[in-house]
Every structure is written in C-alpha cells, then in structure tokens.
Amino acid sequence: MGKITFYEEKNFQGRSYECMSDCADMSSHMSRCQSCRVESGCFMVYERNNYMGNQYFMRRGEYRDMNRMMSMGMMFDNIRSCRMIPYVREFRMKIYERENFGGQSYDLMDDCDDVQDRYRMSDCQSCNVMDGHWLMYEQPQYRGRMMYMRPGEYKSFREMMSGQRFMSMRRITDMC
C-alpha cells in the first residue's frame, strides 16, 4: 500500500492532503502543492486533473520544495492528480514502429535505453503492455518527458501527447 502527503507550502507546511490511492482531482483538497512526502509506494503525479498533462514519477522520499524540482526538470507548476503504482514482478510489452500496431515490432521484458540502437527502429509509435508498469521517455537514455504506461493497448502516442514519440523505456521495479 502506498501513502503520499501533499502540502500547500514548502517544507511540509500549511494545509495537507494525505492520499493512499488514485486521486483524479486534488483541487477540492488544496489550492496548490509546494512540497510532498512519499512515505511508501510509488506514485505518478500529474499537472492537470484526471491524470492529464505532464507527469513526474515519485518514489519514497521527501520533496521539500517543488519549485526547486521544477527548475531541475519538472515541467509543470502544480500537482492536480496522482496515481499509485502497484508493485509487480513480471514485465512484458510489445512495441511497434508505427501507430495502430503497424511496422516492425519487438517484445520487451527488460529496460531499453535506446530503441534505435537496440532494434534499429527509427521510431516507436504504439505499444501493448501485457504485464507490469513502465515509464516511456521521449529521448534515449531515459531523458526528456516521460509517460506512465500500465497494462493496456496504446494505439497512438501522437494522439496521447501531441506528437510525442518514445525512444527509451524502463520498468518500474521499485517496491518503494
């Protein structure tokens, strides 16, 4: 079971909201988030309601100043929703070169730091996540914007994140 606490002010001050599951809309609980503490589990936090917008992966730890994190690569100014990531032990995903599961395809069961180097694929535009929870990155070496993928079919990354493409992917193996 995971537990994350959000605070309106830096250094864990002000109103707080404790969350132990998914929360699609935090705006009724607090007006902003300046710090948070992940006591257990792993979470994805989102800049907009309903798990939309830019995302950030958070594992166990203390995040005293969200503004400082933003200047270090977090690309949004507030947290509006969060999703708890369950711990799993098996990972399996099939990636496709083109949208709608077209073009070359490859099965993954481990991390891939560069789709182009490993598979000679110029692009990854869709996938089917059969097992596990994954982070997909827009650049090789797990850099750039990321997207959380849980089991399901993803027919078009371009539709999901306006022109997004993914060049590296990593399993979420943390027990946190």
> Using an 8 Å Cβ cutoff, are 168 and 113 in contact?
yes
Is the domain spanning 92-171 CATH 2.60.20.10? The answer is yes
Identify the CATH homologous superfamily for domain 3-85: Crystallins (2.60.20.10)
The span from the CA of 68 to the CA of 76, in Å, is: 12
pTM, entire model? 0.85
pLDDT string in tens for the chain (176-residue length): 799 999 999 999 999 999 999 999 999 999 888 899 999 999 999 988 999 888 889 999 999 987 766 544 554 557 899 999 998 999 999 999 999 999 999 999 999 999 999 999 888 899 999 999 999 998 999 998 889 999 999 999 887 766 677 899 999 997 65
Going from the C-alpha of 115 to that of each of 36, 105, 144, 162, 171, the distances in angstroms are 34, 11, 15, 20, 14
The residues spanned by each domain of the chain are 3-85, 92-171
**The two domains 3-85 and 92-171 share their CATH topology (first three levels equal):** yes
